[in-house]
């Protein structure tokens, strides 16, 4: 998969942009298949970086201010049409840092 720097060079609406987004979506979808989620949890995927990473999040984090900021960013970037896991536009280590607070 191409890295994030390549994304900045691609022109909006170009075939390269479409290919990049298709690869990213395919990687995200492969992470969401056949996942059992424990009660009281939901799944998010940190979509930035070389490889998207899946996280199981406790419902209590829905009150965490930093996590709510990430959800707002996800809404702005992806909208509400996501099914299954929620894509979060951040690096996996950034999300991990928030979860350890």
Terminal CA-to-CA distance of the chain, rounded, Å? 31
Q: Mean pLDDT throughout 7-11?
A: 51
**pLDDT band (50, 70, 90) for residue 26:** low
Q: Mean pLDDT throughout 71-78?
A: 85
pLDDT at 86: 85
Domain residue spans of the chain:
4-99
- Residue 1 CB contacts under 8 Å (≥ 6 apart), including other chains: 23, 24, 27, 50, 51
Q: Strand pairing partners for 5?
A: none
pLDDT at 14: 64
Q: Mean pLDDT throughout 52-79?
A: 88
How much is the pTM?
Answer: 0.60
pLDDT at 3: 44
Q: 10 Å Cβ neighbour count for 86?
A: 20
Beta strand 53-58 with 41-46 is antiparallel
* Residue-averaged pLDDT of the chain: 76
Look up residue 79 and give its two tokens. 């909208």
């Amino acid at each position: 998969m191409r890295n994030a720097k390549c994304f900045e060079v691609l022109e909006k609406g170009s075939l390269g942009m479409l290919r990049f987004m298709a690869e990213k979506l395919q990687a995200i979808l492969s992470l969401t298949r056949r996942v059992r989620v424990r009660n009281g949890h939901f799944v998010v995927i940190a979509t930035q970086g070389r490889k998207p990473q899946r996280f199981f999040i406790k419902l209590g984090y829905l009150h965490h201010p930093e996590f709510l900021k990430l959800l707002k960013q996800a809404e702005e970037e992806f909208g509400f049409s996501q099914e299954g896991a929620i894509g979060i536009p951040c690096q996996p280590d950034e999300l991990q840092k928030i979860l350890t607070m």
